[in-house]
Chains A and B, each alone.
Chain A
């Protein structure tokens, strides 16, 4: 059968796009993605209204969606992460229907269980053949893993693969298989390579960040979990990535042979694979060119679907095998609840991503954060949004000391015995406020801008509009 459509618009017509549909996107092209904007522009041109955008993430590059909301083309957004630019418009109340946030594991579960129904899935594919076999490792827009697109392609009523690099049939490896693809369309460019992956991910040079990272590595060292078979996940930003710099010499000194590194993968994790610190990398999203190259060439660097990465609804997922995870926070409250959805003023500028999934799955979840940012203390009485519940968070590491969840008394004792600077979380909060002063509470509006669905499908919190 011929799946080729001569244009994006033609593919959308063949897919029967109409008012009120749910259309889905994945975010491997990150801030370089052209596909969501192209699809929404095309829908607007066709006079389509009332679309729900079901996207694994919405980045700043997707700002044109604000205009489509104003014009009624888009009336709903469901996502796992939202960048600050679209987040600000949402927090100011531009959308009547609250945004529905999920996590990277909760989203594929909702799709697979039928709680989310996708009419048309758009797969931005750096490389595809005419039958829709697709991967992310070849072509000018190579992004590496396509893990977040798997559930969409499989469960959507209609799946359209959009590519700018057509390969000969049969393309292998096929992250997305032809069995799930209805139409293939070739466009000039699916994205801007500069925004898709960074050339190299740099470790922070901020001394506060480095101090936090060094302490977090020592927490792992003395936690009891650093032994042969150790598995680990960390983020690409700030102090998170820097933890790897301090963890490596500790693993070497203790002669620990790790089993796997998980998550969004950076060049640093690739180095650890090559140097034998880990035997495998499980990769749902590549953050830099080195990770893309490694996924392409190293058989021990394995692409995983979002479902296998983090879903709470499968028999077992990678996060369930995880020993330690390093996570960030915009706020953490004295019950260890973490906010990664809003800033301290209540504006949406993030989302769970895999935060709540890995915190729930890992044996040791460590939050790394400075005591304050620009005079705003990170430890608060009540987080503006509970993104990740405190009962899944084990340790907070700041530059002045660490706090251990009172439910983890044995862990607290281990870290105290290792002479780590362990405090009560309330003491750390006071330490910060002694420097910054006590902030006034902010007032938020009555209207709900977004609802946060926890990985089990329950609503864990609601985010109010900003006044």
Chain B
């Protein structure tokens, strides 16, 4: 599916994550900034990838600013950000 506009979901509170998504330049780019990057960096990227592929998103910039969210939180924030970004104004 096609990302129509920039959108975000989540907060910068501890144990949450803020996920921002915007139209890409022809490919999928994910940038993860996390307080637990050393221990969970790869797992965070994998979780976000999983949600993106569920929605068949192949062209987007995704920025994850993670404050130690568990996986279900990350996925929920990601899904909400995608649903917002898919809506036309």
Contact = CB atoms under 8 A, between A and B. Distances in A.
Given A374-B15, A375-B15, A439 B40 contact: yes
Most buried by A among B38, B41, B68: B38
A395 B36 CA distance: 28
Interface in A335-379: 344-345, 373-376
Interface in A408-467: 435-437, 439-440, 442
A376 B36 contact: yes
Contacts of B42: 440
Contacts of A437: 40, 43, 70-71
Interface residues of B, number: 15
A375 B67 CA distance: 9
B46 to A, nearest CB: 10
Most buried by A among B15, B35, B36, B71: B36
Q: How large is the interface on A (under 10, 10 to 19, 20 to 34, 35 or more residues)?
A: 10 to 19
A146 to B, nearest CB: 37
Contacts of A440: 38-43
A374 B36 contact: yes
Contacts of B70: 375, 435-437
A345 B36 CA distance: 8
B38 A345 contact: yes
A146 B73 CA distance: 48
A102 to B, nearest CB: 29
A50 B20 CA distance: 50
Contacts of B36: 344, 374-376, 439
A211 to B, nearest CB: 16
A439 B39 contact: yes
B64 interface: no
B80 to A, nearest CB: 19
B47 to A, nearest CB: 9
B40 A375 contact: yes
Contact of A442 (B35, B39, B68, B71): B39
B14 interface: yes
Contacts of A375: 15, 36, 39-40, 68-70
Contacts of B35: 374
Contacts of A439: 36, 39-40
A164 B74 CA distance: 54
B68 A376 contact: yes
A440 B39 CA distance: 5
B14 to A, nearest CB: 6
Contacts of A435: 70
Interface string B24-36: 0000000000011
Nearest to A345: B38
A374 B36 CA distance: 8
A373 B35 CA distance: 11
Interface in B28-85: 35-36, 38-43, 67-71
A467 to B, nearest CB: 10
Nearest to A375: B68
Nearest to B17: A375
Nearest to B47: A437
A344 B37 CA distance: 11
Contact of A374 (B38, B43, B68, B71): B68
Nearest to A440: B39
A430 to B, nearest CB: 15
Contacts of B14: 374
A184 B43 CA distance: 60
B69 to A, nearest CB: 7
A344 B68 CA distance: 13
B31 to A, nearest CB: 19
Contacts of B67: 374
Contact of A344 (B15, B39, B41): B39
Contacts of B43: 437, 440
A131 B14 CA distance: 52
Interface in A4-18: none
A299 B37 CA distance: 53
Contacts of B41: 440
Nearest to A374: B68
Nearest to A439: B39
Interface string A208-246: 000000000000000000000000000000000000000
Contacts of A344: 36, 39
A205 B69 CA distance: 21
Given A436-B70, A437-B40, 7 more contacts: A374-B15, A374-B36, A375-B40, A375-B70, A437-B70, A437-B71, A440-B40
Pairs of residues from A and B, 7 with the lowest C-beta to C-beta distance, nearest first: A374-B68, A439-B39, A375-B68, A442-B38, A375-B36, A440-B39, A437-B43
5 contacts: A344-B39, A373-B68, A374-B14, A374-B35, A436-B70
